[in-house]
């Protein structure tokens, strides 16, 4: 829903009465829509007090200029005193609740998207946060009593998280992602102070040991892969990469001479270097030769551009077509970039990589819940078992805290120093 679709009857009223310049009408409707959404969670009916409260909330937001606040005040006077003709605030709430809710939600989501990109959140996080905001809106509307206007309050966050934990029984990571998304929605988008969440049902993640493959199991997994999937698996295990770190790897991030891979903007937006296994350097060179040929065909067809991180595409407009910026593992097909709308060759799909590894695990007969990330766990554990210092493993993995890396020492002990069961001792004594 665009800005021109906001409160269409109000916009028509302004046009017919020539009450505002044409260019201002959509924005006046937008401010009226935001006000209706704002009062939906308020119980008192003093319109003057609510207008002042709404305008004060706008003044508290750094990204709203003084002229916009004056425009918002004009919009409310036109909407309440002229368009609604002095109707009671309760009537205004009831008569326009559905229209205002949908319109306001669309603009809130658009503002949320803008702020997520302004703060350089990843596209995956942007998609997840927007999805949680939509689910939250639906929940609030469905649980509102007697069709009353759905409020957006801290209490509703608490109720929704409780619903996820108790009724939906979601995992701890899912629940915590929902919590973070809603905090962003209220704090950064709506400009509301969040209080009273100390008693919120929040997921507590207990201590979990990662799934780790033995050296023989890794070898068996590799034996069931060929071509690019095998090279991908070699890098995941040989360099300890996360799935998206591997997918986003670019040609310039490979240093063959130093034997290093450079991970750009990994978890926590941090760069780090890790091992480039010597055993796969030549296969990797051959693979890059094929990728370069594909890139040259794309350029000849008028394409060949890849997504550039941050604002580098504006700073270096032609860099996206340069060889050094191409993905090491490109997608088999061209696609439309969801942010820019340009036709580009993105990196290989994470789903395709996950499917290939899962197939190899099943074919190898590995009776463990092994995933792509299991290869990273195995990389860390096997390094510790071979005597590598834990601090060095921490750096290779890109862990912020040594405590995160310490989990692999527990796995290592279990794999190396398994005590004899008392049953074995007992049966050995039997004749």
Q: Enumerate the active-site residues.
A: 242, 267, 373, 376, 399, 408
Please give the span between the terminal C-alpha atoms of the chain, in angstroms, as a whole number: 82
Is residue 217 within 8 A of residue 366, CB to CB? The reply is yes
d(CA 72, CA 381): 59
Per-residue DSSP letter, 328: S
Q: Which of 153, 237, 171, 260 is nearest to 208 (CA)?
A: 171
Q: How many helices (H) and strands (E) does the chain have?
A: 18, 5
d(CA 421, CA 100): 68
Is residue 100 within 8 A of residue 93, CB to CB? The reply is no
Q: Which of 13, 7, 56 is nearest to 31 (CA)?
A: 7
Is residue 265 within 8 A of residue 243, CB to CB? The reply is no
Beta strands in 39-155 (DSSP E): none
Per-residue DSSP letter, 330: B
Per-residue DSSP letter, 171: -
d(CA 413, CA 429): 27
Find tokens 């702020």 and name the residue.
115
d(CA 47, CA 53): 10
Find tokens 């604002």 and name the residue.
311
Q: Which tokens belong to 255?
A: 């240093």
> What is the residue-wise DSSP string for 172-212?
HHHHHHHHHHHHHIIIIIS-PPP-S-TT-----PPP-PPP-
Count the alpha carbons within 13 Å of 51 in the hemisphere toward its beta carbon.
18
- Which phi-psi region, left, alpha or beta, contains residue 387 (left: φ > 0; alpha: ψ -120 to 50)? left
Find tokens 């959404």 and name the residue.
37
């Amino acid at each position: 829903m665009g800005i021109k679709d906001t409160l269409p009857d109000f916009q028509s009223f302004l046009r017919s009465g020539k009450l505002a310049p044409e260019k201002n009408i959509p924005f006046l409707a937008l401010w009226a829509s935001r006000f209706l959404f704002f009062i939906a969670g308020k119980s008192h009916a003093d319109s003057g007090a609510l207008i002042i409260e709404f305008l004060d909330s706008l003044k508290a937001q750094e990204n709203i200029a003084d002229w916009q606040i004056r425009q918002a005040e004009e919009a409310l006077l036109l909407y309440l005193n002229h368009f609604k003709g002095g109707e009671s605030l309760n009537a205004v709430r009831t008569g326009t609740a559905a229209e205002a809710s949908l319109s306001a939600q669309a603009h809130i989501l658009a503002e949320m998207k803008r702020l997520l990109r302004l703060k350089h959140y990843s596209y995956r996080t942007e998609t997840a946060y927007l999805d949680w905001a939509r689910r939250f809106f639906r929940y609030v509307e469905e649980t509102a009593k007697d069709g009353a206007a759905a409020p957006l309050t801290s209490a509703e966050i608490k109720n929704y998280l409780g619903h996820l934990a108790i009724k939906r029984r979601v995992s701890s990571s899912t629940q915590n992602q929902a919590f973070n998304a809603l905090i962003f929605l209220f704090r950064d988008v709506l400009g509301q102070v969040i209080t009273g969440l100390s008693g919120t049902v929040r997921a507590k993640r207990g201590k979990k040991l990662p799934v780790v493959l033995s050296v023989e199991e890794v070898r068996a997994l590799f034996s069931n892969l060929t071509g690019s999937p095998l090279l991908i698996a070699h890098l995941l295990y040989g360099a300890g990469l996360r799935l998206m770190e591997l997918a986003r790897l670019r040609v310039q991030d490979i240093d063959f001479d130093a034997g290093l891979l450079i991970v750009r903007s990994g978890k926590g937006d941090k760069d780090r270097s890790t091992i480039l296994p010597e055993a796969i350097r030549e296969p990797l060179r051959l693979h890059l030769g094929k990728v370069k040929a594909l890139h040259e065909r794309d350029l000849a067809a008028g394409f060949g551009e890849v997504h550039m991180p941050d604002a580098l595409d504006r700073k270096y407009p032609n860099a996206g077509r340069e060889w050094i910026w191409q993905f090491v593992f490109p997608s088999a097909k061209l696609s439309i970039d969801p942010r820019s709308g340009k036709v580009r060759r993105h990196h290989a799909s994470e789903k395709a990589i996950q499917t290939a590894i899962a197939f190899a695990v099943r074919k190898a007969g590995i009776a463990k819940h092994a995933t792509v990330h299991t290869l990273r766990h195995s990389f860390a554990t096997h390094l510790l078992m071979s005597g590598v210092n834990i601090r060095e493993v921490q750096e290779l993995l890109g862990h912020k805290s040594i405590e995160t890396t310490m989990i692999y020492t527990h796995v290592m002990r279990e794999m190396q120093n398994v005590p004899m069961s008392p049953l074995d001792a007992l049966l050995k004594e039997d004749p």
